[in-house]
Amino acid sequence: MKPDGKRRLFLVGAADEPDALMRVLNVVTVLQARVRRLEAEPADDGLSIRLEIDDPGEQRAEALARRLEACPAVRRLAFGWQSGLAPLTMSPN
């Protein structure tokens, strides 16, 4: 898949376990999602993970979300378009 600049954002709340980040990244790797940005930091209730990936299309994004939700380390998940990262179409003046 050729990247077109559009990205999806996945916000993951994970358990406070030593291998939680690796378990989440394993899911992403198995589904061959191309990570463009990754942030992880401790949160009050575990680990907060922010993943930006190249837009794989609606079906693959939903498949990734389902697999992440099934991951034992994941407690909550939200995903959607990364605001401002999708290319803008400029209208000619």
- Note the pLDDT of residue 45: 86
Q: Provide the residue ranges of all domains of the chain, joining segments of one domain with +.
A: 18-81
Assign 83 a pLDDT band (cuts: 50, 70, 90): low
Please give the Cα distance from 60 to 18 (Å, whole number): 28
What CATH number is given for 18-81 in this structure? 3.30.70.260
Per-residue pLDDT tens digits for 32-78? 999 999 999 999 889 999 999 998 788 998 999 999 999 999 999 99
CB 86 within 8 Å of CB 19: no
pTM, full prediction: 0.80
Q: Which residues, in sequence order, are CB contacts of 7 under 8 Å at separation 6+?
A: 36, 52, 53, 54, 55, 81, 82, 85, 86
Give the torsion sign (CA, 62, 36, 20, 23): positive
